[in-house]
Amino acid sequence: MTETRDTPAAIIYPPLDIKVIVDKTAGHVAKSGDAFQQLIREKYQSTAKFSFLYPNDPYYAYYSHMVEKYKSGDTTDAPADIPDSMDIDLPLVEAPERPDALQFAHAMPAISAQDLDVIKLTAQFVARNGRQFMTMLAQRESQNYQFDFMSPAHSLFPYFRKLVDQYTLVFFPTTELLDRVDRDRENKHQILDRVNRRMKWVAFEEEERQRKGREAEKEKEAFLSIDWHDFVVVGTVEFVEEDAFVDLPGPLRLQDLATMSLEDKHNSRRIDNGEAPKPASTVVKSTQPPAASSVKSDDEDEDDNDVEMEMDEDDENIDEEIEAERNPKAQLPVQTIGPMKIRKDY
């Protein structure tokens, strides 16, 4: 097997432009080790000219052969007719050590203050009472859109799970975490070392972000250099006269969407689909004390309120029917959204 690999006839040699990149990459990998090779794979994973780094590429055998040659100090296979002007952009500085992931920090998504309070309070109860409490609460509030974030398919569910993990570590810290806190208390220089490593890693990531930005800018320039007058019509969109008079709702600002609660967003989608918004599924109890002359129980008060509401609705329906008979061209009733109600008595 060694003779087959060392034999030039058994290796597929790449063309000259690819050979330059392979030889220089092999030299850096032989000098810096496999960690440098992994770094190049991560940085240029979407670049076709570095596909020789993977075993399924036909030029991988030649690349491995050159790495072994450079490690042994033999540079006889290095081509002599490669011009010095042909250069490639390879990272000459090794990546710093990746710091440990932050356990008590997480990027906050665009969320309203009301949703944030509900998510935090729910995460605390779930962390304290366990997964069974989460399952029971999700089943109980399945019709309450304020708790849609408990669904794994919701965009706020990862943030909710992260808060649950953080509160769990606070309520039930692990032995490793307590030992680490004790070590940091005895030797505070360890904290400075971790800060220094994270600072280097953040600077490295910023440099990588700027490099990718430069590459994206080059792609944008290449995109703008395309002759857009050379095109083919594949279809047309026809606008009729009625389109100019369609009563469409006004656009919402991004700030309004970010501050809307989950229940408001759901009702807004129902209105856009031509459906009536569902009434709030929660109840807000009055904070004012009852009158001194009131001696009815809570159940009797709720029954009386239900009877009064039904009588009021019947009277309104009769009035609407009479008005419709008098004026058949009357406008259709406008659907309104009732005030949002939040239950506070969990």
Best CA proximity match to 92, nearest among 26, 22, 32: 32
More confident position, 294 or 35: 35
Question: Residue 313 has which token pair?
Answer: 């609705």
Nearest CA to 117 out of 224, 261, 21 is that of 261
Least confident among 44-48, 179-183, 206-210, 334-338: 334-338
Cβ atoms of residues 127 and 171 within 8 Å: yes
pLDDT band at residue 315 under the 50/70/90 scheme: low
Q: What pLDDT shows up at residue 183?
A: 87
Q: Name the more confident of 146 and 47.
A: 146
Contact 264, 118 (CB under 8 A): no
Q: What pLDDT, in 10s, does the model give residues 236-256? A: 888 888 878 877 777 778 887
**69 near 77, Cβ under 8 Å?**
yes
**DSSP state letters, 42-53:** HHTTT-GGGGGG
- Number of Cβ within a 10 Å radius of residue 236: 5
**267/146 Cα distance (integer angstroms):** 11
User: Is it the case that residue 95 has pLDDT exceeding 80?
Assistant: no
pLDDT digits (tens, 9 = 90+) for 179-208: 888 888 888 888 888 888 888 888 888 888
Question: What does the mean pLDDT of the chain come to?
Answer: 75
Q: At what angle do helices 34-43 and 16-32 cross, to 10 degrees?
A: 130
| Residues 124, 126, 129, 133, Cα dihedral to 10° | 150
Q: What pLDDT digit, counting tens, does each position of 253-309 carry?
A: 888 777 888 888 888 787 777 676 666 555 444 444 444 444 444 545 555 555 455
